[in-house]
Amino acid sequence: MRKFYQVSKLPFALTSLCVLLSACGGGSNTINENPAAGGDGGTSTAIECASSDTTCVDLVFDDTPVVNLNYECGKYRGLTSNTGVARCPANSNVTFYLKAADGTRRIDLGSIAVKPVRNTISSEVQDTSLIRITPKDLAESVTGTGIASLDSSSGATMAINISRLLQSIARSNLSDPALPYLGKNEPYIDEAPVNRVYIDPELKAGIEKLTENVTAKDFQDKTFLSKIQPWLDDKKISLISEAEAKRRLEKVILAKNSGIFYASPSLDSGLFQSTGVDLKLGVSGTGSNGIDNTASVAMFALTSRTGDSTGYGLEWVDKASDSLAKYTVYLKNKYSKMRLDNGSKVFDPYTNRFSNFNFTVQPKAYTEGTNATTYAGDIFHFANGRLIRDLAVLGSADVYNLYNGEAIKDTSELGTWEQKSTIGVTSFSGTASVFKRGAVNTYLDPAVWRVEKLVAKGETYQFPLYATLTINYRDDYTKDCDSCAKRETLPIAILANGDIVTDGNNASNYTNSTAICNQPQKDANGNSVEVKQKLIGTIRAAFPSTNTNDYYISPSIVISGAEFGALDGTLIGIGDRVKINLAGIRNVNAGQRGSINATSAELGDSDTNSAIWANTYNSFTSLRVAYNAANEQAKDPIKDIDPITPAEKRAANQDYGDFQINTSQCYTVREKN
HEC per residue, 132-199: EECHHHHHHHHHCCCCCCCCCCHHHHHHHHHHHHHHHHCHHHHCCCCCCCECCECCCCCCCCCCCEEC
Question: pLDDT tens digits for 363-383?
Answer: 999 998 888 999 999 999 999
If you write DSSP's letter for every residue of 413-430 in order, what string do you get?
Answer: GS-EEEEE-TTS-EEEEE
Residue 432: exposed, middle, or buried by beta-carbon count in 10 A (0-12, 13-18, 19+)? buried
Please name the helix (run of DSSP H) or strand (run of DSSP E) that holds residue 66, with its range, or none.
strand 66-67
- Residue 492 is classified by DSSP as E
Residue 205: exposed, middle, or buried by beta-carbon count in 10 A (0-12, 13-18, 19+)? middle
Q: What's the CA gap between 595 and 53, in Å, rounded?
A: 42
Q: What percent of the chain has pLDDT over 70?
A: 88
Tell me: pLDDT of 55 over 80. Answer: yes
- Residue 284 is classified by DSSP as E
Answer for the pair 505, 530: CB distance below 8 angstroms, yes or no: no
Paired sense of beta strands 460-461 and 426-432, if any: unpaired
**Half-sphere CA count of 282, side-chain side, radius 13 A:** 25
Strand partners, 380: 359, 419
376: which residues sit within 8 A by CB, 6+ positions away? 336, 361, 362, 363, 364
State the pLDDT at residue 35.
34
Q: Is 61 helix (H, G, I), strand (E, B) or coil?
A: strand
Which range (1-5, 114-118, 351-355, 547-551) has the least confidence?
1-5
Question: pLDDT tens digits for 233-276?
Answer: 999 999 999 999 999 999 999 999 999 999 998 765 444 455 55
Neighbours of 325 (CB within 10 A): 15
Nearest to 449 by CA among 557, 553, 538: 553
Model confidence at 602, in pLDDT bands (50, 70, 90)?
confident
Q: What's the CA gap between 615 and 3, in Å, rounded?
A: 12
Nearest to 432 by CA among 325, 297, 320: 297
Answer for the pair 295, 426: CB distance below 8 angstroms, yes or no: no
Answer for the pair 497, 463: CB distance below 8 angstroms, yes or no: no
Paired sense of beta strands 197-198 and 66-67, if any: parallel
Please name the helix (run of DSSP H) or strand (run of DSSP E) that holds residue 108, with its range, or none.
strand 106-113
Q: What's the CA gap between 600 and 606, in Å, rounded?
A: 9
Nearest to 328 by CA among 652, 642, 3: 642
State the pLDDT at residue 275.
54
Question: Residues 469-472: contacts with CB within 8 Å, 24+ apart?
Answer: 469/572, 469/659, 469/660, 469/661, 470/659, 470/660, 470/661, 470/662, 471/567, 471/570, 471/613, 471/657, 471/659, 472/657, 472/658, 472/659, 472/660
Model confidence at 2, in pLDDT bands (50, 70, 90)?
very low
Q: What percent of the chain has pLDDT over 90?
A: 68
Q: What's the CA gap between 576 and 573, in Å, rounded?
A: 6
Query: What's the mean per-residue pLDDT of the chain?
Result: 87
Tell me: pLDDT of 631 over 80. Answer: yes
Give the predicted TM-score (pTM) of the model. 0.91
Neighbours of 332 (CB within 10 A): 18
Answer for the pair 461, 496: CB distance below 8 angstroms, yes or no: no
- Listed in order, strand segments (DSSP E) in 320-442 are 336-340, 346-347, 354-355, 358-364, 379-382, 392-393, 416-420, 426-432, 434-437
State the pLDDT at residue 24.
36
Please name the helix (run of DSSP H) or strand (run of DSSP E) that holds residue 294, with its range, or none.
strand 293-303
Nearest to 106 by CA among 222, 205, 200: 205
Q: What's the CA gap between 229 and 119, in Å, rounded?
A: 44
Which range (250-264, 506-520, 603-617) has the least confidence?
603-617
Our measurement of the distance from residue 374's CA atom to the centroid of its chain's CA atoms, rounded to an integer in Å, reads: 34
State the pLDDT at residue 70.
97
Answer for the pair 394, 415: CB distance below 8 angstroms, yes or no: yes
Answer for the pair 555, 540: CB distance below 8 angstroms, yes or no: yes
Question: pLDDT tens digits for 643-673?
Answer: 999 999 999 999 999 999 999 999 999 999 9
**Half-sphere CA count of 359, side-chain side, radius 13 A:** 27
State the pLDDT at residue 578.
93
Tell me: pLDDT of 40 over 70. Answer: no
State the pLDDT at residue 459.
93
Which range (180-184, 216-220, 339-343) has the least confidence?
180-184
Tell me: pLDDT of 33 over 50. Answer: no
If you write DSSP's letter for every residue of 502-548 in order, what string do you get?
Answer: E-BS-TT--TT--B-TT--EE-TTS-EEPPPP-EEEEEEEEEE-TTS
Type of residue at 604 = G
Which range (307-311, 543-547, 614-618) has the least confidence?
543-547
State the pLDDT at residue 4.
38
Average pLDDT, integer, range 583-602: 94
Residue 302: exposed, middle, or buried by beta-carbon count in 10 A (0-12, 13-18, 19+)? buried
Q: Is 441 helix (H, G, I), strand (E, B) or coil?
A: coil
Nearest to 296 by CA among 264, 332, 337, 270: 264
Q: How many residues does the chain have?
A: 673
Q: What's the CA gap between 133 and 62, in Å, rounded?
A: 6
State the pLDDT at residue 122.
37
End-to-end C-alpha distance for the chain, whole angstroms: 48
State the pLDDT at residue 322.
64
Instruction: List phi, psi (to 5°) of 660.
Output: -120, 160
**Half-sphere CA count of 92, side-chain side, radius 13 A:** 20
Answer for the pair 516, 503: CB distance below 8 angstroms, yes or no: yes
